[in-house]
Copies of this chain bind each other. A is one copy, B any other.
């Protein structure tokens, strides 16, 4: 037995372990958050820790320089403890949540996109309005001649006020009933749920209590979680927040998470990680900001991919990843949030955006709804750039979907200096073709960049390619002040020198990063082409391309075409629609018609399994080039 101490953000967490145990596993057991997107195979280099005392059996990898190795830097995932150790987990725990932030409409631009989506939904005839509301009623107090029990008294008053034929009280309301009636002199405000001519009382408040009838919207991503607290009676946004998905320490992608969930106690660990570390803190934060109690949240709508839905609910998810890839459900009603122990109103229902396959989930049905491609005669494409890339193609007559594994590159995973789209991330970049000097912007306009987010990586690769600094294979052509080659001959372009930023490392992009990204963009492009050609079509049919995802605050579409990620069509056809999963879930929560529409879309949407589709693999290989091995596909790109 040895003792392992993690120094995290000024506090120490100590746990016993066996000699030879893997340090990342120990950290996971100790509930110490170490980012490990590649799930511990030494590939991504993100799980850096600093050995402060004791000894680790830990090889030096390409992610750790000689200098850094001497300073004590190690990758947790390839380290085994051989003595009592103290390791520092720098900057992770404290920065964890903010580092994972995504599009949560907290910026003016995101809000503009969100409001545009809302307006479009209303223009399409999908009216705001759901079956939760509040109604104020006054009653006569009981007397010895009028001894009707409290619940019948309230039911009579509500029948008169609403015209309902049947009024029931949920237990939460019954429990408060006698007290609130007398405290309020029998003048109360009821939160009610209407089904036809029946009314169910969810809550009872004194008439003077104007607490909003609140609802919760959650976009549950593999990497990030975004949420809104909304007023269900008028649709206004009461609060917004986002954070990382606490499951990330069990793996960056859905496959690794499912594998972990299949281990003993795993599904419980994964469920707790996302609820206790992500969703509940978001709800607490938003309720505190909006000054309402968690019990005043009466309904929740969540959009997530199929695996996230299963892991959230604590279901046995192995069949989702094993042939023939069978989820427990596509659509399920009758779940209450109390099953998740979120602390919301005990009868609050959980609406899940419906899945349509093991790899096309509720985030896509909600997102496709928000993209409005179902409401147009013209053929459109919806692309959600996430850890998985999902596409929906169609119009008001048909919809087809497919999914490809893009990997975490769009969100900064698998990229040496990659990071999520949050403060300090380089989100746009231009290179001077003469001097090769970069000009960039960072999110939050920080003085120095910390890393590069998805949109910045697209720009970097496009600019490197445009300036001839890299070739079509993503390899650097020659040395330069900003282009270096290491002992293995791997080239990299330095965007910001550590001497300038004062950081431990340069912010740079290297050939491995570019290669990873090229594979991600190749997956998206080949998915697009394969889906189109399955219909006997090509990109020229696309009148609209809606790009969604947490890649950044926007995408330079021209650059995305330049690197061959998006098809080479008129740039006017592209729109960035932000976090469409979140806006779709918002619509489902606040509008019964929207919810019915999403359910309808899910029923009619077909699914194309790319892995068994002839030509997909060839198409993918051909797309792993800048912009593409077939330059005829990218006439606008000058090579």
Specify which of B149, B152, B174, B335 is in contact with A313 (CB 8 Å cutoff). B174
- A328-B174 in contact given A168-B333, A168-B334, A334-B168 (Cβ < 8 Å): yes
A 168-204 binary contact with B (CB < 8 Å = 1; else 0): 1111001101110010000000000000000010000
- A24 vs B152: C-alpha distance when bound (angstroms): 39
- A339 vs B171: C-alpha distance when bound (angstroms): 8
A 321-340 binary contact with B (CB < 8 Å = 1; else 0): 00111111110111110110
A149 B334 Cβ-Cβ under 8 A: no
Specify which of B144, B182, B314, B323 is in contact with A324 (CB 8 Å cutoff). B144
Specify which of B169, B327, B338 is in contact with A150 (CB 8 Å cutoff). B327
Specify which of B326, B333, B346 is in contact with A149 (CB 8 Å cutoff). B326
Tell me the smallest distance from the CB of A306 to a CB of chain B, in Å: 9
Chain A interface residue number, banded: 35 or more
A143 B324 Cβ-Cβ under 8 A: yes
Specify which of B147, B150, B326, B334 is in contact with A147 (CB 8 Å cutoff). B326
Specify which of B171, B200, B319, B355 is in contact with A182 (CB 8 Å cutoff). B319
A 68-87 binary contact with B (CB < 8 Å = 1; else 0): 00000000000000000000
Q: Which of A136-185 contact B (CB under 8 A)?
A: 142-144, 146-152, 168-171, 174-175, 177-179, 182
- A315-B149 in contact given A142-B324, A323-B144 (Cβ < 8 Å): no
Q: Which of A95-119 contact B (CB under 8 A)?
A: none
Specify which of B178, B317, B319, B324 is in contact with A315 (CB 8 Å cutoff). B178
Specify which of B174, B179, B314, B332 is in contact with A332 (CB 8 Å cutoff). B174
Tell me the smallest distance from the CB of A350 to a CB of chain B, in Å: 9
B329 A174 Cβ-Cβ under 8 A: yes
B152 A330 Cβ-Cβ under 8 A: yes
Tell me the smallest distance from the CB of A167 to a CB of chain B, in Å: 11
A335: nearest residue on chain B (CB-CB)?
Answer: B171
Q: Which of A558-592 contact B (CB under 8 A)?
A: none
B170 A329 Cβ-Cβ under 8 A: no
Contacts of A339 in B (CB 8 A): 171, 346
A314: nearest residue on chain B (CB-CB)?
Answer: B175
Q: Copy number in this complex? A: 2
B171 A328 Cβ-Cβ under 8 A: no
Contacts of A485 in B (CB 8 A): none
A316 interface hit (Cβ, 8 Å):
yes
- A148 vs B327: C-alpha distance when bound (angstroms): 8
B142 A178 Cβ-Cβ under 8 A: no
A175 B330 Cβ-Cβ under 8 A: no
- A168 vs B331: C-alpha distance when bound (angstroms): 11
Tell me the smallest distance from the CB of A316 to a CB of chain B, in Å: 4
B315 A175 Cβ-Cβ under 8 A: yes
A169 B332 Cβ-Cβ under 8 A: yes
A339: nearest residue on chain B (CB-CB)?
Answer: B171
- A148 vs B142: C-alpha distance when bound (angstroms): 56
- A149-B324 in contact given A171-B335, A336-B171 (Cβ < 8 Å): no
A 400-434 binary contact with B (CB < 8 Å = 1; else 0): 00000000000000000000000000000000000
Contacts of A332 in B (CB 8 A): 151, 169, 174
Q: Can you spell out 7 A-B residue pairs with CB atoms less than 8 angstroms apart?
A: A147-B324, A147-B325, A149-B329, A150-B327, A171-B334, A178-B317, A179-B316
Going nearest first, the 3 A-B pairs with the smallest beta carbon separation are: A178-B316, A151-B329, A179-B316
Other than the given A152-B330, A174-B335, A178-B317, 15 more pairs (CB < 8 A) read A146-B324, A147-B357, A149-B328, A150-B329, A152-B329, A168-B334, A170-B334, A171-B334, A174-B328, A174-B332, A175-B313, A177-B315, A177-B328, A179-B316, A200-B334
